[in-house]
Amino acid sequence: MTFQVLGRCPERFGRLLDAFVAEFKTGEELGASFTLAIDGEVVVDMRAGHADRARTRPFRRNTLAPVFSITKIVAALMIARLVDQGKLSYTQTVASIWPEFAQAGKAEITVEQVLSHQAGLSGLDKPIDRILWYDAPAICERLAAMEPLWPVGSASGYHPHTYGFLVGEIFRRVDGRSLGTAMREDLAIPLGLDLWIGLPDTEHRRCAEVAFWQKPGTLKSTHRAVEYALKAKWASPGGQGLGAWRRGEFPGGNGLATGPALARLLGALACGGSLAGVHVLSPEAMDLMRAQRIVGRDLVLPHTVSWGAGVMRNAPYMHYGPSPDAFGHAGWGGCVAFADPARGVSGAYLLNRHGPKAIGDERAIRLVAAAYDCL
């Protein structure tokens, strides 16, 4: 296979470069990038392969990769900023902000329980036309009226799509703006980050096409949390086309970004809370965000997960390197973004050939491990 690794990878990160090249030589990749930042400054930014399935467009520095559930950590950061500003508390009930949410036994559910996937609303329990997912007020109305699928606080159950609507509505009720708009105005534009939740049509030409995993899924749980989250015919948005998906705001899953944008944003969390003179989050608020809310076997994901307030903590699998202080989020198909405040390190691995795992893609694990070997 003939290909060229573009970008920057200093000699000291030679083992990381070798690991990146190896993924392409085995045929595991179509297009991918790996970015590493130390103290918020990008030190490695490399990419290779193609941005499209026909292999006519190279994976460029400005290629926007769909980051799927990595979007959730960006949404969690926007909530953390409200907490930092004294406008919201993690222990506050959602109903105190969103009164309609108190229906069906949900009056005592807290903001941190929503963020840590404990709210029992992993999917909609009644059939809908999949187009309705593009109507956020309608989805929020259904979530407000819904009874939790399991006793709240007893377990986490990953909310793949509903998370974005719940967190987005909490943010909107407090701030007044949509979460995607606020993220662009308050972080992406001031910091020069090529990061979007809701992509203008003018930017669609830069997007990578995804080669999806074609084999059957491996989720065997019969719990209704899984059924409504992932298996029901109405479990995910549909019927509107790829352009509408990119254009909409789904803070749980339709973010688009470059590797440097994510590595730099999480770099602020790895090195004191500021980036390029812009205050992102205080160290105290960052510690609150990553503090463990629940740990155990997730009802939806086939994994044990330690959840902070919208972030995946490194334990027990240590996918984000050797530091127990590291945290981040995985995205559908294998992408990851992480921050390690103990080492001042952050990074992002983005790709467009999906693997089968929701968490723990071996490509990501190998690349993160190689990066730490070079530090």
CA 241/CA 96 separation, integer angstroms = 36
CB-CB contact of 286 with 80 (8 Å): yes
**DSSP state for residue 175 in the 8-state scheme:** H
Q: Are 236 and 217 in contact (CB under 8 A)?
A: no
Distance CA 32, CA 73 (A): 20
Strand, coil or helix: what is 108? coil
Helix (H) or strand (E) holding 309: none
* Catalytic residue (choose from 33, 69, 178, 306): 69
Phi, psi of 99, rounded to the nearest 5 degrees = -55, -35
**E-strand spans in the chain?**
6-8, 31-38, 41-49, 65-68, 195-196, 255-257, 274-275, 278-279, 294-297, 304-307, 312-313, 327-330, 336-340, 345-351
Confirm whether 178 is a catalytic residue.
no
Cis before 151 (ω within 30) = no
Q: What is the enclosing helix (H) or strand (E) of 292?
A: none
The set of catalytic residues is: 69
